[in-house]
Structure 1
């Protein structure tokens, strides 16, 4: 029997990269997936791919920074699709301007990154909280190696702060929602090749080399490398796992 049979799973940022891979992976394990993304066309395209492969998928436009829109989507999903039992908070952005850059850029980075990467996680989780509690559901938040460290390579303090916040939010929710049977965990990707960092990889191959050279497995990760841990944390295989972060970084943090 597929690991996620009879589950309805909502994935944010599902139009590309890690979110796309998780949505397809969940569908292949029997879940009915709901893809949410600011890029409505991209999410619809992935949903179409899933349906063409025999899976069940719907897609909706969502800006996770807009709290009222998150609430409206949760209601729409409940009315049209059913009770959500899995939520993956994946939507996020990354920028590499340091604190000593131009003031306007630094401030814009802080406001945009925190709004999407951290407040967005709160907004979507809060909107879907009641069906998740009713279903004794599972929440999977996408953190980072920067949930623990600030990289020596160029990276914004806002991104590091946001991913530290995601891990703290994960632990706080796990502690509070455990009595309801809701499990809350995170995944900590390392250097994963996705459209999010495609331009950086193309323009600065030396930066990519720094990551790979520091990684014991000797390669960058792919979005598909995140799927197995995401399925594990959403399935009954992890029935006694909550408040944890599964690192998917090729061993980066061990050296």
Structure 2
């Protein structure tokens, strides 16, 4: 029985670990040929090799989403070596937890780094892959956050909240503009997901985790695999009339 993403080529940023790695593996199980993009070249290739050992099709490329010229080069390489990308997942991102009123140098560096990766990076990669996505009536899935709507009441960087508000706004703007080409653009809003990105925080600050869990009706943190189903739905024909939307995968966090 063919998978939901048969005959698609899917590029996933931040695919070496966490949510990106899980989505890449899930897409491969549904028949897509997957291109794993990450600044950690070795880890991305290890993830691609796992997919290939499981019978899927995968390749990997080093990509720093901050460097616009590199995004263009990688998009060209993928087109020449793999084929026309029809699904793009913008997942690469970072977070830090310095408050705005803290050390000025840390606050400024947080702002510059987080905005450049979480927001400018989404622009850079999407713009680089725009031609094949438009030609093939592609699908774009952006990883937003509960912080696309709220600033979570824990130690948190305002830059992260700002960047994720921006990702949702970018999603809606592109959906409005690219719909005439048949390109669908949607987002996923994860809550607290247990990934390497927040591993140290979860170990060192259990009270922070408790704040999240106490506010989450399902009573648990999410796993990267919890994001795979929504990502498959938004990339497949199951969501053929869905664009400009965000699917929340937050255990009900925003319900209360």
C-alpha separation in 2, matches of 1:252 and 1:194: 18
* CA RMSD of superposed structures (Å): 0.3
1:2-43 alpha-carbon deviations (Å, 9 max, x no partner): 000000000000000000000000000000000000000110
Aligned equivalent of 1:221: 222
Corresponding residue SS for 2:233: helix
TM-score of the superposed pair, with normalisation by structure 1: 1.00
C-alpha separation in 1, matches of 2:41 and 2:77: 16
Aligned equivalent of 1:74: 75
C-alpha separation in 1, matches of 2:141 and 2:52: 23
Corresponding residue SS for 2:242: coil
- State how 1:1-255 maps to structure 2 within 5 Å: 1-255=2-256
TM-score of the superposed pair, with normalisation by structure 2: 0.99
Corresponding residue SS for 1:221: coil
Corresponding residue SS for 1:225: helix
1:131-180 alpha-carbon deviations (Å, 9 max, x no partner): 00000000000000000001111111000000000000000000000000
Runs of 4+, deviation exceeding 6 Å: none
Give aligned pairs, total: 255
1:68-121 alpha-carbon deviations (Å, 9 max, x no partner): 000000000000000000000000000010101100000000000000000000
1:196-235 alpha-carbon deviations (Å, 9 max, x no partner): 0000000001110110111000000000000000000000
Q: State the shift of 1:130 in Å.
A: 0.4
C-alpha separation in 1, matches of 2:255 and 2:155: 21
Structure 1 unaligned spans of 5+:
none
Corresponding residue SS for 1:192: coil
C-alpha separation in 1, matches of 2:113 and 2:122: 13
C-alpha separation in 1, matches of 2:253 and 2:161: 16
C-alpha separation in 1, matches of 2:59 and 2:3: 20
Corresponding residue SS for 2:140: strand
